[in-house]
């Protein structure tokens, strides 16, 4: 499982005394644990008859759910970088970029712009989108295909470009 790989890498970075990687992966493991706690709570509310062992077993995140957590953390880093750039905080920008690179290693390979554009064109044709009023339809169609593999802001930008061209 992906989380086991992350924990193993965390131990390796601790031995190497790579502070940036250690803090990034600790934060990531913490975010995964919090997501598991949320999942456990939801399961226990729906199934009050489950015992501790069943709850623990069912609350473990699968790789897809772990990738969602990683994607969320990557998005936070990208947003922080933009904010720090506006504020002229170069010291913090470098720290966030370093963390971003570490986290991206655990995501599936990112899609290229051309691949995203082709998927969007297919989605526009499939949904018969006629213009900007149909952006929600296209995004709903394309989101599951790009989730965790493409920056949402880039996808939205390309969807707008393609809808304006249609």
The three-class DSSP label of residue 30 is helix
* Cα separation, 70 vs 91, whole angstroms: 23
pLDDT score at 106: 94
Judge whether 134 and 162 are in contact, CB under 8 Å: no
Supply the angle between the helices 135-146 and 152-165 in degrees, to the nearest 10. 140
Which carries the bigger pLDDT value, residue 60 or residue 164?
A: 60
Domain boundaries, the chain: 2-104, 113-165
Among the four given CATH numbers 1.10.10.60, 1.10.10.410, 1.20.1250.20, 1.20.120.350, the one describing domain 113-165: 1.10.10.410
Neighbouring C-beta atoms of residue 88, cutoff 10 Å: 8
Q: Per-residue pLDDT tens for 108-146? A: 888 889 999 999 999 988 888 888 888 899 999 998 888
The CATH number given to 2-104 is 1.10.1510.10
Task: Please state, rounded to an integer, the average pLDDT across all residues of the chain.
Answer: 91
């Amino acid at each position: 499982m992906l989380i086991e790989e992350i924990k193993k890498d965390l131990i390796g970075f601790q031995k190497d005394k790579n502070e940036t990687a250690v803090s990034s992966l600790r934060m990531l493991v913490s975010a995964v644990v919090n997501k598991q706690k949320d999942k456990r709570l939801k399961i226990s509310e729906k199934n009050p008859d489950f015992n501790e062992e069943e709850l623990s077993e069912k609350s473990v995140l699968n790789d897809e759910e772990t990738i969602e957590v990683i994607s969320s953390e990557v998005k936070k880093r990208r947003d922080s970088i933009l904010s720090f750039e506006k504020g002229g905080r170069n010291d913090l920008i470098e720290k966030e970029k370093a963390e971003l690179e570490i986290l991206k290693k655990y995501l599936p390979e990112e899609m290229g712009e051309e691949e995203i554009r082709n998927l969007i064109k297919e989605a526009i044709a499939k949904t018969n989108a006629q213009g900007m009023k149909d952006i929600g339809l296209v995004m709903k169609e394309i989101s599951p295909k790009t989730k965790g593999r493409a920056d949402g802001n880039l996808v939205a930008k390309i969807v707008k470009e393609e809808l304006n061209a249609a």
